[in-house]
Amino acid sequence: MSTNSSIQPVSPESELLSNTTCQLEEDLSISFSIIFMTVGILSNSLAIAILMKAYQRFRQKYKSSFLLLASALVITDFFGHLINGTIAVFVYASDKDWIYFDKSNILCSIFGICMVFSGLCPLFLGSLMAIERCIGVTKPIFHSTKITTKHVKMMLSGVCFFAVFVALLPILGHRDYKIQASRTWCFYKTDEIKDWEDRFYLLLFAFLGLLALGISFVCNAITGISLLKVKFRSQQHRQGRSHHFEMVIQLLGIMCVSCICWSPFLANEGLPG
């Protein structure tokens, strides 16, 4: 008996069901991307408004630096949701046909650069905030006399420029960002890595991200322990300490969210493939 006789033809109903399921999954993906982007934009917009109002209201030196860094972190996250979300929605709406709408790989490169920048820059800013609070609590005289708003803005600019530089490294090295397996986003080459340069980009991204998280953890731990020691030692300057505790709690929240969201990804990218 011929083997072809054992192959059952696909019924029109089964084919229609399969097409309907695929279309439903595609619609859900687009809807999820739009919802995720919208929630991120709205929440960050609210946070920006609150932080800007607080920055204008509280002109104390020890709070203005923290609020400036917090505002920069929220603004960075805002544009990350806006740019990356918009490109993701466009990719889904175009049926992930990169060959059709991105023949020159320009959009993929922009997507990859934005992914790397919006991934590293918030982590850098979180660690910078933790360092600033650690110095403010453990070395208050040095903080009040040496660390001015101008210095904070310079450090802020340096962190952002460094994140941009890391994101542009593949382009400077004449390497392209690659479409990932899901065909919905672009990043460094992660599959079948045979070249040391491709491995270097991944290791650098993972190392810098984990380093930023480690610095945040250490600085927040030192700050928290120092505040607890002062609390049990003396009841003076209660108002000042309450502000410090408030900022440390905010930092711990930022650090926990960053660890939950980024640690698995950073550790996976750093593992040899």
Phi-psi region of 59 (alpha: psi -120 to 50; beta: other; left: phi over 0): alpha
106: nearest Cα among 33, 171, 10 = 171
Amino acid at 32: F
Residue 17 burial class via C-beta count within 10 angstroms: exposed 0-12, middle 13-18, buried 19 and up: exposed
In CATH, the number for domain 24-269 is: 1.20.1070.10
What beta strand segments (E) does the chain contain?
178-179, 186-187
pLDDT recorded at residue 93: 83
Provide the residue count of the chain.
Answer: 273
Give the pTM: 0.77
For the packed helices 61-93 and 106-138, what is the interaxial angle rounded to 10 degrees?
160
Give me the residues paired with residue 186 across strands: 179
Per residue in 168-208, pLDDT tens? 999 998 888 999 888 888 999 888 788 888 889 999 999 99
Per residue in 15-32, pLDDT tens? 444 445 545 555 566 676
pLDDT recorded at residue 265: 64
152: nearest Cα among 33, 216, 72, 47 = 72
pLDDT recorded at residue 6: 47
Tally helices (H) and strands (E) across the chain: 8, 2
Residue in the structure block whose two tokens are 């609020």 = 67
- DSSP letter for each residue of 166-183: HHHHHHHTT---EE-TTS
- The domain spans of the chain are 24-269
Q: Identify the DSSP state of 8.
A: P
d(CA 65, CA 102): 42
pLDDT of the chain, 273 residues: tens digit per residue: 444 444 445 455 444 444 455 455 555 666 766 776 777 677 777 777 776 766 666 555 556 788 888 888 888 988 988 898 889 888 888 888 898 888 888 999 999 999 999 999 999 998 998 898 889 888 888 887 878 888 888 999 999 999 999 999 999 988 889 998 888 889 998 887 888 888 899 999 999 999 999 999 899 888 888 887 776 666 544 545 556 666 667 677 777 776 776 666 666 665 555
Q: Identify the DSSP state of 104.
A: T
